[in-house]
Amino acid sequence: MATQCKLACAVVLLGMVAFAPYAEAGVSCSTVYGDLMPCLGYIMGSGKQVPAACCSGINSLYNAAATTADRQAVCSCIKSAAKGVSLDVNRAAGVLSKCGVSVSYKISADMDCSKVE
């Protein structure tokens, strides 16, 4: 189960790092992992379409991360979970757009969460 959480977070890092664990942030890592779990299969290469539950989770997380601190907290949660996990980077990078979510910065595995606004 912990590995699945790590993989789900890694998925969103590359496709959704608009969001991570500072004390003042209102979005917890458990929320991030729960919202992104439905994306795991797709990011790992299963299926040709992003599941509706994945997009629902992404949109829920996107809406929950209303402040800069929230978005930085989400980013940090995802980066922490992504360490040492291999995934389909191309699929992960495309999840946001396939779910109709856009962010104003480039998503990458090495992005600096402190610069997320």
pLDDT value at position 98? Answer: 92
How far apart CA 38 and CA 55 sit, in angstroms, is 8
pLDDT value at position 104? Answer: 67
Q: Where are the domains of the chain?
A: 2-99
What averages of pLDDT result for each successive group of 10 residues across the chain (117 residues)? 48 42 66 91 86 96 91 86 71 87 73 86
Question: Whose structure tokens read 């996107």?
Answer: 62
Backbone angles phi, psi at 58, to 5 degrees: -60, -45
